[in-house]
Amino acid sequence: MALIIGLGLRGAVFESTISTEFDFTSTPDSKKAANLIEERLRGSIGTNEVILLQSDSLTVDDPAYADFVVELLGKVEALGPDIIKAGTLISYLDDAPFPVSQDRRTVIIPFTMAGEFTDATDNISKVIAVADEAKGRGFKVLMTGQATVGNDFEEVVQDGLLKGEAIGVPVALIILILVFGAVVAALLPVTLAIFSIFVAVGAATLFGLVFSLSFFVESMINMIGLAVGIDYSLFIVHRYREERARGLQNEDAIARTAATAGRTVVFSGVAVGLGLTGTLLVPSNVFITIGMGGHLRGHRRRLRVHDPSARPAGPPGR
């Protein structure tokens, strides 16, 4: 049931509870000053973005360059005022003096996203899609800005997670098979780790409905989940085999392992939890997310010690 709930929350709600914004969870003097400047002087500056155009053969004085810029501006503006803040999309065609490079082959098109930062984060992919479609015809089209960088960070993290799991999990599984000597026994730690990862992500989603969580939370849960799950499994099984090699029967070896290695695992988990608690004291959504992700995953870890080789007597081979 916990797994089903976790999967449901991950698929339906999780993406809306995380943010790429780096922000304080408290109000230090610097944040108070920024809020006062925004309220009493300049107002909200919004989320600023920039499109950069570069041509190897044309300059801004060529009609083909101007036609390309007009076409791109039209597509970006067509996204509507709910995405692009009205009146902020400008170019050299508007007689703005700053967007043209000295060699007149590169221009920048600055604009401001509509709404709050979370709105900009949700909508920036639509602007990036327009810029990607405009590439070619002798032009380089690049984008940067607050929301764009956040989007890039999230893509890099997700790509790193997929690559790490695609390489790390099979390698870990091979090692577990060599250590345990049985496929089913090797799959157990990995299965338990994956199970608890989804449950922890579901719990993080519930926290995200109340607190602002960084997108690092999923990376932290996956990293701690797989690493700690497999590591503790190997540690306990190794200790169990030592007891069998000393002549203890199956049940006695299990009891002895639980009384020694089991306590060590609990102590280690508590120590890691106390260490991660320190990150919860830093008034930053990133640090709190890292600590919360580690806590949620660590507290979900449970391992049952069993005889992986299923032999009724005699010490298993090393």
- Cα 102 to Cα 93: distance, rounded to the nearest angstrom: 16
Domain-embedded: residue 103 = yes
The DSSP symbol for 115 reads S
Residue 58 and residue 113 in one domain: yes
Residue 51 and residue 7 in one domain: no
The DSSP symbol for 78 reads T
Residue 17 and residue 63 in one domain: no
One-letter amino acid identity for 210?
A: V
- Cα 154 to Cα 305: distance, rounded to the nearest angstrom: 38
Half-sphere exposure for 124 (CA within 13 Å, toward CB): 27
Q: Measured between alpha carbons, how far is residue 144 from residues 10, 241, 297 in Å?
A: 29, 56, 34
Q: List the domain range (segments joined by +) for residue 121.
A: 29-146
Residues 6+ apart with CB under 8 A from 291: 276, 277, 278, 279, 280
Domain-embedded: residue 168 = no
Here the CATH number for the domain that contains residue 123 is 3.30.70.1130
- Cα 74 to Cα 51: distance, rounded to the nearest angstrom: 13
Domain-embedded: residue 172 = no
Residue 196 and residue 274 in one domain: yes
Residue 139 and residue 69 in one domain: yes
Q: Are strands 18-19 and 213-214 parallel, antiparallel or unpaired?
A: parallel
Domain-embedded: residue 312 = no
Residue 10 and residue 69 in one domain: no
User: Mean pLDDT across the chain, nearest whole number?
Assistant: 79
At 304, is the pLDDT very low, low, confident or very high (cuts 50, 70, 90)?
A: very low
Q: Are 143 and 126 in contact (CB under 8 A)?
A: no
| Exposure string for 2-30, b = 16+ CB within 10 A, e = fewer | eeeebeebbeeebeebbbbbeeeeeeeee
Pairwise pLDDT comparison (140 vs 233), residue with the higher score: 140
Residue 33 and residue 74 in one domain: yes
Q: Average pLDDT for residues 7-25, to the nearest whole number?
A: 69
At 318, is the pLDDT very low, low, confident or very high (cuts 50, 70, 90)?
A: very low
Residue 41 and residue 13 in one domain: no
Residue 12 and residue 95 in one domain: no
Which candidate, 218, 228, 217, places its Cα nearest to that of 271?
Answer: 228
Which of these ranges, 113-127, 209-223, 247-261, has the smallest mean pLDDT? 209-223
Residue 13 and residue 33 in one domain: no
Residue 185 and residue 261 in one domain: yes
Taking the CA atoms of the chain, what radius of gyration do you get in angstroms?
27
Q: Are 22 and 31 in contact (CB under 8 A)?
A: no
- Cα 110 to Cα 51: distance, rounded to the nearest angstrom: 6
Domain-embedded: residue 156 = no
**What is this structure's pTM?**
0.63
The pLDDT, as a whole number, for residue 43 is 66
Domain-embedded: residue 169 = no
Number of domains in the chain: 2
Taking only the tens place, the pLDDT of each residue in 156-165 is 877 877 787 7
Domain-embedded: residue 102 = yes
Domain-embedded: residue 196 = yes
Residue 228 and residue 200 in one domain: yes
Q: How far is CA 248 from the centre of its chain?
A: 46
Q: Which residues pair with 143 in a beta bridge?
A: 51
- Cα 244 to Cα 239: distance, rounded to the nearest angstrom: 9
The pLDDT, as a whole number, for residue 294 is 67
Of 121, 146, 171, the domain-final residue? 146
